[in-house]
Amino acid sequence: MIAPGAPMPPEALQGIVPALITPLDADGHVDEESVASLVDFQVAAGVDGLLILGSTGEGPLLSVEDKLRLVRSTVTAARGRLPVMVGIAHSSPPESVAFGNLAHQAGANALVTTPPFYFLSSQPELIGYYHYLRPRLELPLITYDVPSAVKTKIAASTVRALAEEGLIIGIKDSSGDLAGFRDMLIATQHLPHFHALTGSEHYVDAAMLVGGHGGVLGLASVIPHVYVDICAAVRAGDWARANQLQQRAIAALQMIYVNSSGGSLTAGAIGSFKLALSDMGVIRHATVSSPLLALNDEDRARVRAIVARVVTSPTWAGAA
């Protein structure tokens, strides 16, 4: 158990942490009833923590009012059963700090930030960014490496420097670079309280094989049980089962590529995850934030076919 607003201990950052979608009502505002249902769905699956307002959570697209409504409703629904980690990434360091402190007041247990976006930062500038944030925030910081969204790749040497100074307790690595992930693990292996989790849905098993501590995954919003089982299989040394489960996750991930309506990959991913959860009765609406385009009828049919074959089927045994 962890009290609302209490700092998350570094050792709690491991296992499977779903990067949750943000349930929205038909008008595009946070649906608190669906938030509660989604949190219970995750707890029942046995996940190890919750990340909200990340990329899958549409954090950059929501108003501050809706962000705080989401933090409060997630904390209330979690009831101390899981730590709640909140994305605070912003192009302005003071704005990251301001929202981080508001999230703390709303009950967050840890904060997650990317490098500042818009301008391309150098590695010394990144270190300066965390030097700015850390003394102005009371909660522990986790860095989020997602160069596809923010332009800047966090170098392994930078991660090591940040961890050695105690500026961060861990990392979500969504670079998609398994070799780079391993380099970073080697660079930080002398720091027992620093934990590195992959953000790639494709290779949680491989990331843990090379020393990673788990995964922070958007697709875990939809199939948390599969990723929890992957993690358990890895810890048991059952690599054959871990591989089979990982293949199932990859098959489920194909739902993000169905967008034929002119929308972005982001719209396809978030839209398909929300449609799947809506059809499963976990959330009430599949609304996405503006300007993301909703899935059309053809895409919805394709998502539902994947969900029926891979996600909800009790007999999935491999690719068709």
pLDDT given at position 317: 60
Spatial distance between the Cα atoms of 258 and 270, rounded to a whole number of angstroms: 12
Catalytically active residues, by annotation: 144, 172
- Residue among 176, 228, 234, 263 at smallest CA distance from 272: 263
Sheet containing 214-217: order of strands: 15-18, 214-217, 195-198, 170-173, 141-145, 110-113, 84-87, 50-52
- For 113, 191, 241, the CA distances from 162, given in Å and listed in that order, are 13, 11, 36
Spatial distance between the Cα atoms of 24 and 270, rounded to a whole number of angstroms: 12
φ, ψ for residue 216, nearest 5 deg = -115, 105
Spatial distance between the Cα atoms of 223 and 126, rounded to a whole number of angstroms: 34
- Residue among 270, 254, 267 at smallest CA distance from 221: 270
Q: Would strands 170-173 and 195-198 be described as parallel, antiparallel, or unpaired?
A: parallel
pLDDT given at position 315: 72
pLDDT given at position 320: 43
pLDDT given at position 259: 73
Spatial distance between the Cα atoms of 151 and 126, rounded to a whole number of angstroms: 12
Which two tokens mark 74?
């997630």
pLDDT given at position 313: 80
Full 3-state SS string of the chain: CCCCCCCCCHHHCCEEEEECCCCECCCCCECHHHHHHHHHHHHHHCCCCEEECCCCCCHHHCCHHHHHHHHHHHHHHHCCCCCEEEECCCCCHHHHHHHHHHHHHCCCCEEEECCCCCCCCCHHHHHHHHHHHHHHCCCCEEEEECHHHHCCCCCHHHHHHHHHCCCCCEEEECCCCHHHHHHHHHHCCCCCCCEEEECCCCCHHHHHHCCCCEEEECHHHCCHHHHHHHHHHHHCCCHHHHHHHHHHHHHHHHHHHCCCCCCCHHHHHHHHHHHHHHHCCCCCCCCCCCCCCCCCHHHHHHHHHHHHHHHCCCCCCCCC
Domain boundaries in the chain?
10-236
CATH number assigned to the domain with residue range 10-236, chosen from the 4 options 3.90.25.10, 3.40.50.720, 3.20.20.70, 3.40.50.970 = 3.20.20.70
Q: What is the pLDDT along the chain (320 residues), one digit of tens a residue?
A: 899 999 999 999 999 999 999 999 999 999 999 999 999 999 999 999 999 999 999 999 999 999 999 999 999 999 999 999 999 999 999 999 999 999 999 999 999 999 998 888 999 999 999 999 999 999 999 999 999 888 899 999 999 999 999 999 999 999 999 999 999 999 999 999 999 999 999 999 999 999 999 999 999 999 999 999 999 999 999 999 999 999 999 999 999 998 777 788 899 999 999 999 999 999 999 999 999 999 999 999 999 999 999 998 877 666 44
